Structure 1
């Protein structure tokens, strides 16, 4: 994979990550797999930084998905928050 190919793929993921949500039809595990495919040893420092930002964004989405799956929390009185 060339530098330009890697850059195009990162650009694509940056665009997609602005559009996806925790309850999207494509599972977040798919995007996690896409991020893991980058050849870490071939990346330029700026590409590593961009991928790190994507990792943070994906972690945030994964946390939101876990919160959605857990359902709303209840107050001690039994009402929803």
Structure 2
């Protein structure tokens, strides 16, 4: 996988991670596996930083999936996340 291919894949995941939720039909474990497929030794520093942000976002989603709905904070729209 070339640097350019890795960059394109990270950009795709950044776009998707802005839209996924715990209620999607694709489970969060799928996205966890996708993040794990990157060849860590070939990554540039900026790519590692971008992946770290994606992993943090995914961890947050995974945590919210474990939190009962009654304990979840309300959104500005008045709905729960």
Distance in 1 between the 2:6 and 2:69 partners? 38
SS of the aligned residue for 2:7 comes to helix
Alpha-carbon RMSD across the aligned residues, in angstroms, is 1.1
| Alignment match, 1:50 | 50
Distance in 2 between the 1:71 and 1:45 partners? 37
* Structure with the greater alpha carbon radius of gyration: 1
The gaps in structure 1 that reach 5 residues or longer are 74-81
| Alignment match, 1:79 | none
Distance in 2 between the 1:49 and 1:71 partners? 31
1:7-56 per-position Cα deviation (integer Å, ceiling 9, x unaligned): 00000000000000111110000000000000000000000000000000
TM normalised by structure 1 equals: 0.83
Distance in 2 between the 1:11 and 1:71 partners? 31
Distance in 2 between the 1:64 and 1:6 partners? 28
Distance in 2 between the 1:38 and 1:21 partners? 22
Question: How many pairs are equivalent?
Answer: 71
TM normalised by structure 2 equals: 0.83
